[in-house]
Chains A and B, each alone.
Chain A
Amino acid sequence: MDLRKDKKKDMLCTAVALAAMFIVLLVMELTMKSTSILFTVMKKGVIYALVAVSMNLLNGFTGLFSLGQAGFMLIGAYTYSILSMPVSVKMGESVYKYYDCAIGIELGIFPSLILAGVIAAVFAALIGLPVLRLKSDYLAIATLGFAEILRALFQWDAMGPVTNGANVLRQYKDLTKVKIPFTNIQFPPTLFCFLVSGICIAIIVLLINSSYGRAFKAIRDDEIAAEAMGINLFKHKEMSFVISSFFAGISGAMLAMFQYTVQAAQFKTAMTYEILLIVVIGGIGSVTGSCIASFLFIACNEWWLRFLDESSNNILGLNILRSGFRKVVFSIIIMIIVLFFSKGIMGDREFSWARIRAFFARFKKKAAASEGGEPNV
């Protein structure tokens, strides 16, 4: 009985915290300059949080070591930008310079976003058929290979009428084109990113805590036992792969919205590695960990360590600090985490109110003990 009450209380706490977060965000966006680096970091951070969580669903919860995330983001980004690009732009010379665009339709932001996920999921379903039979590192290298093949495919001349070849796509509906429904007022872009990512992550969390999520974990823990208990390995792996790719596709689409331009060359294996490192830093098997880590990662990469790149701040007259030093320091930090804190920030635990309560309870007890002399143990 008590447990159920606690659960209700926790849900209330979460709802209040989320609402507060969104309100703070809204206030910030209305009062602060929109070009502030803070917003850039938050937008990119939340987009990476979504793709990191989607990768965690595969790597952390289903135990499938897949390295294809960049490929599915690529599909999402391209699907979104091609579908949402106004027909007038497609027919003009400004984007499709060397090709006649073959896609004569233009969709709104939401249909394009959803389709970005769907197309990524369809590709995942096809790729999953052969590769999900492979184990651990072979699966990793095969998914990585497929991501590279996809990149080559999207840059192929023959695909030019659809993908514009290796050239840049732009002038599609980016973040500034999001309007509040039924009005012509711009939707606060950071809030939009948080809303879309938040909903997607919430769906993944619901999935993880459902019967299917438990089946995924069973496969991760012991495939043979899972199979013997009636869990169809292939079906569940494929499901996890497809769902993960769906959300990777959506995050790719959001990345396209955020960046204003899209080019296949960007979605290299290095990108997948970055996402993997975010998952590792956050803790493999922890959704909250992935979210926290992606903000830290993006903030360090784009903001906090920027000063290391400025050659004016020299130490001892040596020209150590110059462009690129930030990345060196950053990758050393990552190596230290990988080697010495291999559980990451959260391990495989999640944020929970119960733990926070326990923490404060302990804190109180300690305080009481130090005041009242001998603790009663």
Chain B
Amino acid sequence: MSFLQNSLPYILAGISVGGQYALIAIGYTMVYGILRLINFAHGDVFMAAGMFMVFLSASLPLGAAVPLVLVLTVLLGFMIERVAYKPLRSAPRMSVMISAIGVSYLLQNCALYFTGGLAKVYPQLPWLSDTVTIFGAVTKRVTLITPILTLILVIGLSLFIKYTKVGMAMRAVSKDFETARLMGIKVNSVISSTFIIGSLLAAVGSLLYFTNYASVTPTSGGMPGLKCFVAAVFGGIGSIPGAVIGAFIIGICENIIKGLGWTTFSDAFTFALLIVILLVKPTGLFGEKATDKV
């Protein structure tokens, strides 16, 4: 019983962080599925959403700030794709990846400029930030809401991809970019909608994540971003359920490691997991295998 009492907070935190990671990881996996691009800037879009919230909530009521944050983040994601990735559509993959790193650098430096390098206190969201007690463990309500909200969003997204026209186009483009284009699918608008969905989920994730962590810094997007990418690889890149499961596993393991007093290694663990999965099953849990033709 005492074991449960001791470890429950960590497991709860793990599930909660896992849900937040899942929302970000979806953005990675969708973009990779369609463009074969590790969108290094995605973590910084997530950070930017946090910054938007900090600055907007200073002058607007929360009811107006939250929707505005979502809109601004979506706009940011959309703009990044249009400005930094679209011109490089026919360039080698490495160039696009470098462009992504450049955008990440730019976003971090912009955030640095606007914050003056100080950690910004994230606004308290009423109700979400309230503390609740569950099985004797004290935690914020957001911890409980996150997994539920995540599941709702993921199911919604899955239905969207399965049944809508845009969703079908997305699947077609990720299977075969060129053929999809030849079949008259407007590839550019499909890619844009991918970025829009990814950014929207990242914004929601950011609301939940920073409510838990209480402060935003220009670099707070980097590490969660990389972890979420790892989650996407772990689940099999391109697969949405894979990314979600991967994110939950990483979130939970990370918090258990923290609970064991190995905090230094909580980040390193993620990468160790990545390397193991790449070596043992490079396609991830749900990925599909592709072969080179000679």
Contacts and interface: CB of A to CB of B under 8 A. Distances in A.
Touch test A–B (CB under 8 Å): yes
Contact of A324 (B93, B95, B113, B265): B113
B275 A145 contact: yes
Q: Main SS of chain A's interface residues?
A: helix
B38 A137 contact: yes
Nearest to B36: A137
B174 to A, nearest CB: 16
Contact of A338 (B102, B113, B267, B282): B102
Interface residues of B, number: 48
Given A141-B233, A280-B98, A148 B264 contact: no
A280 B102 CA distance: 10
Given A136-B93, A152-B267, A145 B102 contact: no
A152 B102 contact: no
Nearest to A139: B278
Nearest to A136: B93
A338 B96 CA distance: 9
Contacts of B292: 224
A103 B109 CA distance: 39
Interface of B: 36-38, 83-84, 87-88, 91, 93-95, 97-99, 101-106, 108-110, 112-114, 116-117, 219, 222, 226, 229-230, 233, 264-265, 267-268, 270-272, 274-275, 278-279, 282, 292, 294
B43 to A, nearest CB: 11
Nearest to B94: A65
Interface size classification for chain A: 35 or more
A328 B110 contact: yes
A332 to B, nearest CB: 7
A13 interface: no
Contact of B271 (A134, A146, A331): A146
A277 B102 contact: yes
B99 A65 contact: no
A269 B226 contact: yes
Interface of A: 59, 65, 130-131, 133-134, 136-138, 140-142, 144-146, 148-149, 151-153, 155-157, 166, 224, 268-270, 273-274, 276-277, 280, 284, 322-325, 327-328, 330-332, 334-335, 338-339, 342
A145 B274 contact: yes
A268 B88 CA distance: 27
B271 A145 contact: yes
Contacts of B275: 130-131, 142, 145-146
Nearest to A149: B268
Contacts of A324: 109, 112-114, 116-117
Nearest to B91: A342
B265 A323 contact: no
A141 B230 contact: yes
A334 B102 contact: yes
Contacts of A284: 94
B95 A342 contact: yes
A134 B105 contact: no
